[in-house]
Structure 1
Amino acid sequence: MANSATPAPQKELFGHPVGLYILFFTEMWERFSYYGMRAILVLYLVSATTGGNAGLGWTGGEAIALYGWYTMLVYVASIPGGIIADKLLGQKKTVLIGGIVLVAGHGILAVEEMWAFYLGLALIIAGVGMLKPNISTMVGGLYKEGDIRRDKGFTIFYIGINLGAFLSSLIVGYVGENIGWHWGFGLAGIAMALGLIVYMWGQKYLRNVGNLLSRTERDEGASLGGMFKDLLKSPLQLVITSILMLGSLYYLFFESLPYGLLYIFLTLVTALMLMVYKDLTSQVMKDRYVVMILSFLLVVVFWGAFEQAGGLMNIYALDKTDRRIPFSLPLIGNEVPATWFQSLNALFIIIFGVIVANFWARRKLKSKEASSIFKMATGVVIMGLGFIFMAMAAKNYVPYEHKSAMFWLVLAYLLHTIGELCSSPVALSFITKLAPVKYASLMMGVYFAATGLGNKVAGVIGEFSQGEPMVVNLVASDSEMTQNLQLNDSVVSNQEDFRLAGEVYEENGELHVLEMQTGEPVLDYIQFKNKERTNEVVEILQEENVTVEDPYHVLIDFKQAEDRSGYSGNFVVEEVQTDMEYKTFWGITIFTAIFGILVILLLKPLKRLTHGVEDNEGDLPQQEKFELGDEEIINEEGNNNKNRKR
């Protein structure tokens, strides 16, 4: 096996193999492209389809839903990406192909067509899946086992990850918001092309790492086909799997194709997990396996809350945050681009990474509780507390009167990052300690499935916070649109999308909407698609005592039909949606706090179930610092490289 053999002498630079810097710049530009695209994706989706920087005109709920699916699939794709590297191509070639696919994906996104948008996303998912789980492991292969430079090597690599993430939100975010969304997508593609060029140029420094394993080594480990075959001989496991599969198939054919496929995937993962538990013969390993399952739940909960950053919090920064500053900056003026808030996480990681690591190290030296599961649970609680600041931001926001201050978002990102530094870096390391050696690679795949599921949960939560939109159709004539709705002649003649702001209130059980500027009635010119939803809004307004003297505010986003047959729009009562967001932020805080504290209260019995897996363990400082390069920790714990992450 190439990675486990003693590497030949390598050319060095500043005390490290030159290959480290090749991988550093490759990953830096890859993360630049990924996080740059991530920063502008949702904002592009919700931007109006006409105007100087046209988007797709989606609702916030629709945009966040797609974002959830996208980020989930990026992580799930790491599973086949690892299998391709282990069984077919080796890590080095898989990373190369992944880079090429990523360049193609970002490049296609620069084309202003819907087919290009979806194809570009699919290629990015496939490309990241091939590149991400393999390039970090190659870093470990640059060093001999026991080489004390390895920790510093991963630190350098880690800086590249976060440097790329930090710069991309600033640069790609600015270009996307101020020049054009597709220019931003194209810039992300150029960055990935730079990374690919660096990687291809540096192949001579990577000869000893990432090569395909021998056939014997590729055949070692658990066989998925064999495990599913054994399922047919296991009555209890087969019954549980069959019930779950029937439910998934029902959902697939009668409810939702995407969710049906997701449930089928989760059913197959559950079946594998059941078979692993049955195959374990030692009670010690069974107990550790139970704790590992809880660790997966912690991973899902953490990312389900944390990944609001690219969705709900991104939209909040754009629409509801006062981003004005008391001075003017070159290019941006006196208003901070919404995408720049995405850079805070990487910036805070760079600032606080060592501080948090040293805190846990000192705590451990003082013989205080510093186990992995305690860190993970504490991280979930701290991250969840960050949403208190988002709740305060929602409370501070008054539609058309007062936007929330920027410092609420900054404080939220700060606590989210502190929580991440406590939880995320140790999660995979802890799982590798608990996983049976035979199933180590499989558990790496399940870890990524849990991370992807957490991202999907984040999308579901964000979508819920936006509520079910009320759809209306415009029934006004062109003259009525210009005279009564006060629209610009050019908007009407060019059939452009437009927004209509108004005041809404309830009187005698009826809904009333007045145009914001003129006070003219609006309901004469629109038709609600669902009368029941209208009645629900009337009931809410009655409960809130919303009157003509003290009205709420409504925003209607009108979008021209593709066949130019007329306008339809989403009727959103701003105060109602803001209240839903406020409750969502508090809901996340309460749930994560309860879940994390419950795990901490159960810490003693859970640690007993681990049977001392972390007892007498030396400090591994790199475990405290890596957000995206955790998989190499397996090497640090003495596991054979053949069990590395897939």
Structure 2
Amino acid sequence: MTRTSDPTPAAVPDYPQTLGHPRPLWMLFMTEFWERFAFYSVSWALALYVVAQFYHGDPAGQGWASGIYGAYTALIYATGIFGGYVADKLIGYQRSILLGAAVMAAGLFVIAVPERTTFLFGLALVIVGDGLFKPNISSMVGQLYGRDDPRRDRGFTLFYMGINAGSFLAPLVTGWMAATFTRTPLEQNYRVVFFAAGVGMVLSLLWFWFGRRGLRGVGRPAPGAEGRGRVAWVLLGMAAGVPLIYLLLSRIGATGLQWLLGLLFVGVAAMLLVEALRVGQVPFHRVVAMLIIFAFNILFWMFYFQLGTSFNFLAANLVDRKMFGGWTFPVGWFQSVSPLSILLLAPLLTLVWAWLDRRRAEPSIPRKFGLGLVFNGLGFLVLMYGLSRLLDARGLIPFWPLTVCYVMQTVGELCLSPIGLSMVTKLAPPRLVGVAMGGWFLSLAEGGNLSGLLASRISGEHGMTAVSALSGFSFGFWLLAGAGVLLLLIAPLVNRLMHGVR
């Protein structure tokens, strides 16, 4: 959440320039690079580790592992709402980032301890820390540029490249480490991954700690809020939040969490609608349009986040990963396909949108979201083909269907994800932009949690089979394709509700 009522923006310091951008951008770039390295190292290994460590490799553990992964993903996004508020209203962005990085690093080392209660406690630390870190490092990029600086969008693009560079390298490096370090099978080495992630987060913390002086006061606490008393209160709040998150993971579970997230979403929607009604008919229509898109956004991420659960179980058990010379392609390396596809396809798609815009044919926001759903669905169609037509005598499918699925999902992500936050700032009532941002992150959180519930259903009581995978992925294709076509059909109505916003 950010302030939206400041009459004038703060003056931007006259920063030294490097490659045409303020020098602190590159410090933030590397800080985020290492944080994403840590986060995506855990993401690819988490569900696989749960099955290997706490169920001794028994596929019956896939259901619980999927639920934990979904709840973990959901809570990462949900706590980001509070992290933004803490930075904006209490202790400033710099202190929030430092506290979040320190707590997240501690949590990453804790989850390497092979004991279930300790593991869940470590996940709670990671969630609380990342919730304080992630929204605020992104916010600081915008503060390096004046409001009308034409380099702002290019600066965010460079920062986004840092995100994807960390996401790309994390599975490659830690997947290799898990397969190579110590003379034990791959599934026994996930703790090496978590330790490497902890080291990456320490590097992120140190990079920001030594580089923050170059920010020249940007992100410091507001005047009158420089004292350490507020930091102490935030630490107390984090200390209270960790056992609460632990209880959500260990006791309430993904099903109970879905009810909680749903109630929060209904509350946010009600606040937005009441405020919009107070202002007038046009703001009300715009909020309705935004909520419609939020609902489709939940559906997109419900299936996209299968990459950490059902797609991993598919890769580990039902994909032929034998390569030339008898070498086995590590499971974690599949997770690098999406960020690599973003790095390669994002510039191309930007050129396509620009070409269409010059011809006044660029798709509107709801049409881009509809295309995103369709491309996500096409990824599942490829998996359906592989599981129904390409199974060999060993019950394995070739390497390429899962790879193509990741690429198709990435095209879908590029159609909708980059415009999401921008859309919220354009459609939300001016007094509740922060609340609307909370709604956007809640839609991601709900999608993440539903992804775990769906993956649990696909795995069932005894683990994923080719039959259960085909059934679950067929459901994914038909639901995504149907929702995408529906959104494309109702796009003219949604556009009218947006009253000229593009």
2:14 is equivalent to residue 14 of structure 1: no
Q: Hey, which of these two has a bigger chunk of strand by percent?
A: 1
Displacement of 1:468 in angstroms is 3.2
Displacement of 1:256 in angstroms is 5.8
Contact 1:2 1:213 in 2 (8 A): no
Displacement of 1:7 in angstroms is 1.5
C-alpha offsets along residues 373-401 of structure 1, whole Å, 9 cap, x if unaligned? 11111111111110011112322565862
Relative to structure 1, is the Cα distance of residues 58 and 13 closer, same or farther in structure 2, using a 3 angstrom cutoff?
farther
21-30 or 170-179, larger mean C-alpha shift = 170-179
Output the CA distance in 2 between the equivalents of 1:304 and 1:73.
14
The one-letter code sitting in structure 1 at the alignment partner of 2:266 is T
**Aligned residue for 2:472?**
584
The one-letter code sitting in structure 2 at the alignment partner of 1:299 is N
Unaligned 5+ runs, structure 2: 1-5, 182-188, 226-247
Contact 1:299 1:427 in 2 (8 A): no
Output the CA distance in 2 between the equivalents of 1:367 and 1:446.
31
The one-letter code sitting in structure 1 at the alignment partner of 2:114 is E
Output the CA distance in 1 between the equivalents of 2:39 and 2:160.
16
Displacement of 1:177 in angstroms is 4.0
The one-letter code sitting in structure 1 at the alignment partner of 2:95 is K
2:475 is equivalent to residue 611 of structure 1: no
Displacement of 1:105 in angstroms is 0.7
**Aligned residue for 1:102?**
104
2:31 is equivalent to residue 26 of structure 1: yes
2:203 is equivalent to residue 198 of structure 1: no
C-alpha offsets along residues 33-63 of structure 1, whole Å, 9 cap, x if unaligned? 000111111111122669xxx7797622121
**Aligned residue for 2:228?**
none
Task: List structure 1 runs of 4+ shifted beyond 6 angstroms.
Answer: 54-57
Displacement of 1:112 in angstroms is 2.3
Contact 2:67 2:254 in 1 (8 A): no
User: Aligned match of 1:376 in 369, 381, 388?
Assistant: 369
Output the CA distance in 1 between the equivalents of 2:266 and 2:106.
35
Contact 1:48 1:56 in 2 (8 A): no
**Aligned residue for 2:272?**
276
The one-letter code sitting in structure 2 at the alignment partner of 1:13 is T
Secondary structure at the counterpart of residue 10 of structure 1: coil
**Aligned residue for 1:644?**
none
Contact 1:61 1:463 in 2 (8 A): yes
**Aligned residue for 2:135?**
133
Secondary structure at the counterpart of residue 189 of structure 1: helix
Output the CA distance in 1 between the equivalents of 2:223 and 2:198.
35
Output the CA distance in 2 between the equivalents of 1:214 and 1:400.
70
Displacement of 1:109 in angstroms is 1.7
User: Aligned match of 1:46 in 33, 51, 54?
Assistant: 51
User: Aligned match of 2:360 in 367, 376, 384?
Assistant: 367
Contact 1:44 1:56 in 2 (8 A): no
Contact 2:345 2:411 in 1 (8 A): yes
Relative to structure 1, is the Cα distance of residues 201 and 3 closer, same or farther in structure 2, using a 3 angstrom cutoff?
farther
Contact 1:42 1:310 in 2 (8 A): yes
Output the CA distance in 1 between the equivalents of 2:384 and 2:416.
23
Displacement of 1:369 in angstroms is 4.5
Q: TM-score, normalised by structure 1?
A: 0.69
**Aligned residue for 2:3?**
none
**Aligned residue for 2:420?**
427
**Aligned residue for 1:550?**
none
Relative to structure 1, is the Cα distance of residues 351 and 57 closer, same or farther in structure 2, using a 3 angstrom cutoff?
same
Structure number with larger C-alpha Rg: 1
- After TM superposition, the structure 1 = structure 2 runs for residues 8-407 of structure 1, keeping only pairs within 5 Å, are 8-47=13-52, 59-179=61-181, 180-213=189-222, 259-260=255-256, 262-279=258-275, 280-281=277-278, 282-327=280-325, 334-396=327-389, 398=391, 401-407=394-400
Q: Hey, which of these two has a bigger chunk of helix by percent?
A: 2
Contact 2:282 2:499 in 1 (8 A): yes
The one-letter code sitting in structure 1 at the alignment partner of 2:400 is F
Contact 1:3 1:141 in 2 (8 A): no
Relative to structure 1, is the Cα distance of residues 385 and 448 closer, same or farther in structure 2, using a 3 angstrom cutoff?
same
The one-letter code sitting in structure 2 at the alignment partner of 1:190 is V
Displacement of 1:270 in angstroms is 1.2
Output the CA distance in 2 between the equivalents of 1:151 and 1:385.
30
Secondary structure at the counterpart of residue 322 of structure 1: coil
Contact 1:62 1:463 in 2 (8 A): yes
Q: TM-score, normalised by structure 2?
A: 0.88
Contact 2:384 2:474 in 1 (8 A): yes
Contact 1:288 1:610 in 2 (8 A): yes
The one-letter code sitting in structure 1 at the alignment partner of 2:116 is M
Output the CA distance in 1 between the equivalents of 2:483 and 2:313.
27
Secondary structure at the counterpart of residue 499 of structure 2: coil
C-alpha offsets along residues 287-326 of structure 1, whole Å, 9 cap, x if unaligned? 1111010111121011011011111001111111111112
The one-letter code sitting in structure 2 at the alignment partner of 1:341 is F
Q: How many residues align?
A: 464
Displacement of 1:265 in angstroms is 4.3
Output the CA distance in 2 between the equivalents of 1:321 and 1:257.
30
Secondary structure at the counterpart of residue 306 of structure 2: coil
Greater relative contact order structure (CA < 8 Å, 6+ sep): 2
C-alpha offsets along residues 416-456 of structure 1, whole Å, 9 cap, x if unaligned? 00111111111221122110111100010111011010011
Displacement of 1:15 in angstroms is 2.2
The one-letter code sitting in structure 1 at the alignment partner of 2:37 is F
The one-letter code sitting in structure 1 at the alignment partner of 2:197 is A
Output the CA distance in 2 between the equivalents of 1:118 and 1:257.
12
Relative to structure 1, is the Cα distance of residues 323 and 420 closer, same or farther in structure 2, using a 3 angstrom cutoff?
same
Output the CA distance in 2 between the equivalents of 1:263 and 1:97.
30
Output the CA distance in 1 between the equivalents of 2:172 and 2:7.
39
Relative to structure 1, is the Cα distance of residues 36 and 261 closer, same or farther in structure 2, using a 3 angstrom cutoff?
closer
Relative to structure 1, is the Cα distance of residues 184 and 354 closer, same or farther in structure 2, using a 3 angstrom cutoff?
same
The one-letter code sitting in structure 1 at the alignment partner of 2:353 is W
**Aligned residue for 1:238?**
none
Contact 1:396 1:402 in 2 (8 A): no
Output the CA distance in 2 between the equivalents of 1:266 and 1:342.
29
- After TM superposition, the structure 1 = structure 2 runs for residues 518-537 of structure 1, keeping only pairs within 5 Å, are none
Output the CA distance in 2 between the equivalents of 1:596 and 1:170.
33
Unaligned 5+ runs, structure 1: 217-251, 328-332, 470-571, 615-646
**Aligned residue for 2:485?**
597
**Aligned residue for 1:452?**
445
Relative to structure 1, is the Cα distance of residues 151 and 22 closer, same or farther in structure 2, using a 3 angstrom cutoff?
same
Contact 2:353 2:362 in 1 (8 A): no
C-alpha offsets along residues 139-176 of structure 1, whole Å, 9 cap, x if unaligned? 11111222222222222211111110000011112223
Output the CA distance in 2 between the equivalents of 1:57 and 1:310.
16
